[in-house]
Structures are given as structure tokens and as C-alpha cells.
Structure 1
Amino acid sequence: MMRRTEQGQANLTAIVILVGLIISAVWIWKRLSPETQEFVIDQAIPLAAAVIGIVVLVLAVVKKIRRRAHRKRERDYLLAAFQRETVRDKQLELSFALAEVNDYRVNGLEAVAPALKDLWVTTLRRALGDKQHRIRGMAASHLGILNDLTVVPLLLAALEDDHAYVRACAALGLGRLRAPEARAKLEYVMKEDWDQTVRSRAKEALERIPPP
């Protein structure tokens, strides 16, 4: 890793080079004939700007493709690890990581969707107690990415959990599902829940559900 002193020297060198380039450009510009200056202004600068724009666009596309390829490799690795894993706690950890790297979408996870549903449903039902409310909440929110409306009753029940975090995550899961049957309950939670975060999540969920 570059030390702080070396970084400072590198920054100073870059500044000196930049100043030198600017001075050189000004010196050259002043020595150009008026006709040449006019040509540069009218033709060369717009052309250079167009070329720079195209280069920036191409670099952005390449960067996006590389990022997508990297995410796919990471997803495939986690997918294989999840399918091999037999210890439930490690499976749960891998399932959360898998959902995150897949941008909380079910596309690409169809092969393990039933296993994910079973794992998250079981977690939401059995991870009881104060110390487990976080994984219970994560299971609730992640259930929403599976596009499986059979989990709606379970998420509706989770809106009455003792922990605000779980209630907020349940609202998030229902919003991801865009479940119209959750509208009445979410409207009640948005108005009546004592926790501001839960009310906000309920409002966001309602905004994602299509109007009747």
C-alpha cells in the first residue's frame, strides 16, 4: 500500500504536470494565427468534445458489463456454496449474501427459490426472542423478493411482531411483493404504529402496490 508521504508526492507531481500542460497550451494558443484559432474553435473543439463523449460512454458501458460479470461470478459462487452447505446457520448467512449480490431479485435464483423460501419461512416462524429479531426481520424482507404471494399471510402476521425492526422488514417484504391484499393492513400500520421507521416502510410499501 502507498504510504501517505508517497501519496502526497504523487499528488504534487500530478499538480505540477497539470499546471505545466495548461501553461504549454496557453503558450501554443497565443502563437497560433487567428485563422487557426477560429478553425480550432469552430471545428476541432466540437469534434474533440464529441470524441470524448463517445469514449466516456464506451467506458461506462464496459464498466457496467464488467461489474455485471463480476456480480454473476460472485452469485454463482454463493449459489454453489449454498447448495453444498448443510449447516442451517451457514445456509441462512449464505442466503442473505446471495440475495444481496443478486440485487434482491429472484431472477437467476429460480433453482434455489423453493429452498430459500423454506429457509426464510422457517426462520421467520422459529427465530423467536430478543436476540434473534434481526435475522427474523431479514427473513421477512427477503421473502418479498421471491414473487410468491403464498407468504403474504405470514408477512401480515409479522406486522404485529413485538420488535419494530421485524415489523418494518415485513412491510418492506410486502412492498416488494406488491401484494394488494396487504393494502388495508399497511394503511393501518402507516397511521397507527408507534415507530416512525415502521410507518415510513408501510408508506413506501403502499406506494409500490398498484391501486385497486
Structure 2
Amino acid sequence: MRRHAALLLAASLTLAGCGVANAAEGVVAAPQAERTARESGLKTAIFAGGCFWGVEGVFSHVKGVKSAVSGYHGGTKRQASYDLVSSGITDHVEAVKVTYDPSVIRYDQLLRIFFSVIADPTLKNRQGPDRGAHYDAKLVPMSNEQLAVARAYLAQMTKSGKWSQPIVTDVVRAKAFYPAETYHQDFAAKNPNHGYIQRWDAPKIAALKRLYPGVYSASFQRD
């Protein structure tokens, strides 16, 4: 992982998850979001929030999440490889497809977790130490219900005034999602001593446990 080894030199940068936790924690979903999030049956949604290791690592510790798969959203299948995407020459973003049980965890609750401990909504084309359009934070709803919730939640965030900078996270329509290479799957769980994981992603998982003990699962969720 040449990219991540080099980026450890950026340790002085603010951790995105810790930097936004208090703000997002205080945002609650609007009534519309509460109503439309009450879906039945397993649902999927895609979240892009910087390096997919941390996004997957956090959501895999959320009760009700059945699977979290790292991959590439958008672009073409031919270019959906780590080397090409990380070079910045494709139209993909690193993303995670989350399958969840809405009777246990609602979509608006996943959004709250996302903006509390994973992604800084005021950053464009970067998160944490990572730079490039393939690290942009995006919400990718997979249904009209999720679309309504996502828009309502971002509007609520903007209205709250808890961020000093404009919120720039986009809601985009779902395109093709390509699972990443096998070695990227469950990366945080399989490589807890990796320097990047310890510096940037372990604190996010710890923040999930601290801020949301009721939904935190110590057991890593897998298919």
C-alpha cells in the first residue's frame, strides 16, 4: 500500500471523524426522515467517505448491518481496479456498499454515524490525509425513500449551523458498484496493527463505541 504508507507522514492533519463528531452527534433527523426510514426487509445503501478501509471498518461494527463491502462506485468495470482508481484518472470514488436491517438500524441513523465518526461534510475531494476526487464524500441512495431521507438530513445539517464551513457532501444517483480486490475487504479487522489503520481508522471505530454504545457491536459483522 504505497499510498497509505506515504500518507502516514501527514499525521499532523486533523482526523476527520474526530473533527466532526460533536457537530453531527447533535443533529437529529427531521420527522420526514424518521417516517420514510421505516422500511421493511434488508436494504442496501452506498457511502463514499474517503478511504474505504475506515468506512467499512466503522459500519461493520454497527448492529443491524449485515455486510459492508469496499469497492468503487461509478466509472467503468474495466477501470475499477485499485491502481487505476487511486491514480485519480478514473471517474470512480472509493465507496462501501452497506446492507442493513432497517428494523434494527434505520438509514437516517446510518447517516448520523457517517457524519459523526467517518466523514467531514465540509471537505471536497479529500478526507483525512487522503487527497483526490476518488476520496470525495458522497451519499448514494438506492431507493426513493433513502433519497428523501438523505436530502432531509443534509438540509437539517445545514440548518443546524453546527459547521463553520459550507456542507459540500453530494447526494448522487446510484451507478455501478464494483467490489474492490479481496485484500481490501475487512482490511481494518485483518490488519489492526497497520500504521494507517491505527492512526486514522481505529479512532473512528473507538468514536462509534463512545458516541453510540447502543448500536456498537464488538463483533466484526460479516456476511
Scaled by the length of structure 2, the TM-score of the pair is 0.22
Answer 1 or 2: higher relative contact order, Cα 8 Å, separation at least 6: 2
Larger radius of gyration between Structure 1 and Structure 2: 1
Scaled by the length of structure 1, the TM-score of the pair is 0.23
Relative to its length, the structure with more strand (as a share) is 2
